[in-house]
Amino acid sequence: MKEKDCVRVFAPATSANFICGYDILGLALEDPGDEITLRKVDSPGIKITKITGDLGLLPLDPEKNTVSASIKMVLDHLRIKNIGLEIELFKKMPIGSGLGSSAASTIAGLFAINQLLGAPLTKQELLPFALKGEELACGHGHADNVAPSLLGGITLIHSYSPLHVINLPVPKKLCCSIIFPHVEVPTRAARKILKTQTELKNAVSQWGNIAGLVTGLFTEDYNLISSSLKDYIIEPTRSFLIPEFEEMRNIAIKSGALGFGISGSGPSVVAFTQGIEKAKEITKMLKQHLGKKSIESNGYSSAINTQGAVEL
Amino acid sequence: MKEKDCVRVFAPATSANFICGYDILGLALEDPGDEITLRKVDSPGIKITKITGDLGLLPLDPEKNTVSASIKMVLDHLRIKNIGLEIELFKKMPIGSGLGSSAASTIAGLFAINQLLGAPLTKQELLPFALKGEELACGHGHADNVAPSLLGGITLIHSYSPLHVINLPVPKKLCCSIIFPHVEVPTRAARKILKTQTELKNAVSQWGNIAGLVTGLFTEDYNLISSSLKDYIIEPTRSFLIPEFEEMRNIAIKSGALGFGISGSGPSVVAFTQGIEKAKEITKMLKQHLGKKSIESNGYSSAINTQGAVEL
C-alpha cells in the first residue's frame, strides 16, 4: 500500500468481559465508535486541531491524549522523526461507559498512522502497541477491548505471553443491546471489588459455559449460546454496583434476550439477541425503565462488527 | 429395530477430566473397553454366567454388579418383569485406572439391554440411567466418563440440571497415549484433596484454555490444541499423587506430544498426539521410564473413538 497525505478511520466501541467471558472475550459493535482524521502537514510535531463529541476527560495536550500517544508509539517503533501531523478526533461515545472508550481512541490512532504510512504493520502487529496504549490509559494492559476494536468480531484472548488473540465465528443474526446508565463505576474500583479467590464449583460451571458458548458460536446454535450466557463468578460480586441490574435482566430475558449481563467492568450492561429488531426493542425498554427511575442512559443496538478498525 | 435373543456389545474406556477439562470434558478410546454378551433365557432373573478379565473388585452378585444393576434400571423404567437374562462380561481394562472402568460396565449394560429390547430408548435417553449407575458405583453421579463411553468422541458436559451433553468435533489425527501406573489413587481420595477455592487468575487462564481447546477442535488447529492443553487448577494439587509425573511430562513433550496431564482423577496420565505412531512411541517411552523406576504400568495408544457404545 502507498503512503497517503490524509486518512480518515473508524475504530468501533467494544463490549469486553461480557457475561461469562471475563478477561478473555470481547466483541466489536457496528456503532458507536471513534473517528479520526489524520493529515500530514509541513511543520513537524503532532497537533490536535479539533475534538468533537464527549470531551469529559479528554486531555487536549498531545503528550497525554490517547490518540497522539498511540501515533507516537508507532512512529518511534518505525524510527520516523520530524513528521508533521494534524489530528481531528470525533469521539462518538461516552467515556467511562464500559464500551472501551479509551481502547477505541488507541486503536483509531494506531490504525490511522499505520494506514497513513502505507500499512507497514499488520493488524496483528499493531496489537502489542494497543496493549501499551491501554496500560497508559487505564493502568492495565488488557487486550479485551483493543483486540475486538482492531480486529472486529468476537475475539478470544487466548494468552498474554505470548500475546495470542483468536477471532471466533460470528453467527449471522447475533446482535446486542447495550445500555450505559449515567452512574460512575470506574474500572479500577470495579476490579478492586473482585475477590482474588473463587469457588472451584463456580469456576467449573463458568468454563462449561465458555466451552458451550464457543461451541454455539461455531455451530450457530442460538439455544446453546443462550444457555451458556451465564456468569457465576463476576456478576454476583459486581452487579450490585449497577442500578436496576436485576430489573433490567428480567425485562431483557422476558422480552426474548438470549442472555443478559455486565459489559466491561460496568456500569454498562449487554443483552444478546437474535436479530437487530429484538435488540432495538430491548434497548428501548431498558432505557424506558431506567427513565422511570430517573436514571439517564445511553442505549445502543448493534450487530457484531466483523471488520474492526477501517479506513473510511 | 426388532427385539433380539442375544446381543454382544462393546463400551469403550474413557479419559475424563483430561488436562484442562476438569469436570466438563471426556473422550472415548478405540481400545480398551468392556464387552458383554446378553442373552434371553427362559428362567426369569438376571444371572452372570461368566466374567473374564480384571476381576479385582468386581462383585459377582448380580445385586451389586454394575452391569446387572444397569440392566435392572432399564427394565424397571420400561416396567418389564419376569424376563430371564444371562450376562457374560469381558472386562478388558483394569479397575481403578482412571479409564472409566465402572462407566464402561454401566454403559455396556445399559446399551446391551436397550439393543436386546429393540432400542426403545435413544442413546441420549439412556444417559440419565448412566448417571444413576455412576452414583451407585462411585458415590457421585458424574457424566464425564459415561457420556463419552455411550456417545463416543469428545463430549462436553454443558450442564447437569438439565443434563446437557454436547459432542465436540474430533480432529482426524488426534490420538492419545494413556499410561496407568500400578499405584492406587482412589477417586474419592483424589476428589478430597482438591481445594474448594481457587485463584481467580488461574480460573481465568483455565477458561481461556478451554475456549482455545474447543476452538482448536472446531478448526482442527493442532498448534492451538497444544497451547490450550494446560491445567492451572487441578494438576498443581493432584499431580504429586502420581509417581514420576513431571518426568513423564518431560519425556512426552520432548517427544512431540501436543499436551500432557492427568486422566480422570489419576493415577492415569494422558498425552495427546498428532497421529497414532507418535502415540505408540510415547506410550512405549513412558512405560519404559516407569519400568526403570520399578513401577509396573499398562499403556494404551488410541485414536479417539467416535462411535461410543456399539453392537458387535
pLDDT in tens, A88-101: 999 888 777 778 88
A210 in contact with B, Cβ within 8 Å: yes
Predicted confidence at residue A93, as pLDDT, reads 80
Q: Is residue A263 marked as binding?
A: no
Rounded to 10°, the helix B276-292/B245-254 angle is 140
Rounded to the nearest angstrom, the minimum Cα separation between A166 and chain B is 8
Q: Averaged over B74-93, what is the pLDDT?
A: 92
Average pLDDT over residues B285-301: 96
- Would you tell me how many other CB atoms lie within 10 Å of the CB of residue B192? 8
Q: Which of B24, B166, B211 shows the shortest C-beta gap to A156?
A: B211
3-class secondary-structure state, position B143: coil
For residues A310 and B263, give the distance between their C-alpha atoms in angstroms, rounded to a whole number: 46
pLDDT score, position B55: 55
Axis crossing angle, helix B200-219 with helix A200-219, rounded to the nearest 10: 30
| B28-43 average pLDDT score | 94
pLDDT tens for B169-183 read 999 999 999 999 998
Q: What is the pLDDT of residue B185?
A: 67
Distance CA A182, CA A297 (A): 5
Query: A175, A304 in Cβ contact below 8 A?
Result: yes
**What is the Rg, in whole angstroms, of the alpha carbon atoms belonging to chain A?**
19
Tell if the CB–CB gap between B211 and A159 is shorter than 8 Å: no
Number of neighbours of residue B189 by Cβ within 10 angstroms: 12
Q: Which of A14, A66, A106, A187 is catalytic?
A: A187
Query: What's the Cα-to-Cα distance from A236 to each of A94, A193, B123, rounded to whole Å?
Result: 26, 11, 37
What mean pLDDT value characterizes chain A?
Answer: 91
**Is A197 close to B201, i.e. CB distance below 8 A?**
no
Residue A237 predicted with pLDDT over 70: yes
Looking at residue B109, what is its pLDDT? 95
pLDDT digits (tens, 9 = 90+) for B196-239: 888 889 999 999 999 999 999 999 999 999 999 999 998 988 88
The complex's ipTM works out to 0.91
Res. A302: pLDDT tops 90: yes
Q: Residue A262 carries which side chain, given as an amino acid letter?
A: I
Tell me which residue of A195, A3, A187 sits closest to A103, measured CA to CA: A187
| Cβ contact, residue pair A164, B206, below 8 Å | no
- How distant, in Å, are the alpha carbons of A221, A234, B215, B285 from that of A191? 32, 10, 28, 47
Q: What's the pLDDT score for residue B187?
A: 60
- B134 catalytically annotated: yes
At A146, the pLDDT band (50, 70, 90 cuts) reads very high
Q: Across chain B, where does the E strand assignment appear?
A: 6-16, 25-41, 45-53, 84-91, 154-160, 163-168, 174-181, 197-199, 259-262, 269-274, 297-303, 310-311
Residue of B nearest to A229 (CA): B158
B98 is in an annotated binding site: yes
Find the helix or strand (DSSP H, E) in which B200 lies: helix B200-219
Separation between Cα atoms, residue B58 and residue B66, nearest integer Å: 8
b/e A24-46 (16+ beta carbons within 10 angstroms → b): bbbbbbbebbbbbbbbeeeeeeb
Which residues from chain A sit within 8 angstroms of residue B214, using beta carbons? Answer: 211, 214-215, 218
Judge whether A99 is annotated as a binding position.
yes
pLDDT in tens, A179-235: 999 887 666 666 677 788 888 899 999 999 999 999 999 999 999 999 999 999 989
Q: Round to whole Å and give the CA distance between A70 and B198.
A: 37
Contact of B233 with chain A, judged by CB distance below 8 Å, is answered with yes
Q: Say if the Cβ atoms of B203 and A203 lie within 8 Å.
A: yes
What does the pLDDT read at residue A51? 84
Catalytic residue among B30, B35, B134, B235: B134
Pairing of strands B84-91, B45-53: parallel
* Choice among B48-57, B68-77, B155-164 with the minimum mean pLDDT: B48-57
The verdict on whether residue A33 carries a ligand-binding annotation is no
Report how far residue B18's alpha carbon sits from residue B26's, in angstroms, rounded to the nearest whole number. 7
Count of beta carbons in the 10 Å neighbourhood of residue A240: 11
Structural domains in chain B, CATH included, are: 6-167 (3.30.230.10), 174-303 (3.30.70.890)
Interface check for A195 against chain B (CB to CB < 8 A): the answer is yes
A149 belongs to an annotated ligand binding site: no
State the pLDDT at residue A190. Answer: 65
pLDDT score, position A191? 67
Select from A158, A168, A207 the Cβ nearest to the Cβ of B206: A207
CA B21 to CA B16: how far, in whole Å? 8
Q: Residues A238-251: what's their mean pLDDT? A: 93
Instruction: Give me Rg for the CA atoms of chain B.
Output: 19
For chain A, what percent of residues have pLDDT higher than 70? 94
Mean pLDDT of chain B: 91
Task: Reply yes or no on whether the pLDDT at B62 is more than 70.
Answer: no
The residue-averaged pLDDT of B296-310 equals 96
The shortest CB-CB distance from A212 to any of B156, B197, B204 is to B156
Minimal Cα–Cα distance from A207 to chain B, Å?
Answer: 5
Sequence-separated (6 or more) residues with CB below 8 Å from residue B68: B46, B48, B62, B87, B109
A134 is catalytic: yes
Which pLDDT does position A112 carry in this prediction?
Answer: 97
Q: Which of A35, A134, A235, A281 is catalytic?
A: A134
The predicted pLDDT at position A180 comes to: 92
* Mean local confidence (pLDDT), A260-275: 93
Give residue-wise pLDDT tens across range A47-56.
Answer: 998 888 765 5
CB atoms closer than 10 angstroms to residue B184: 9
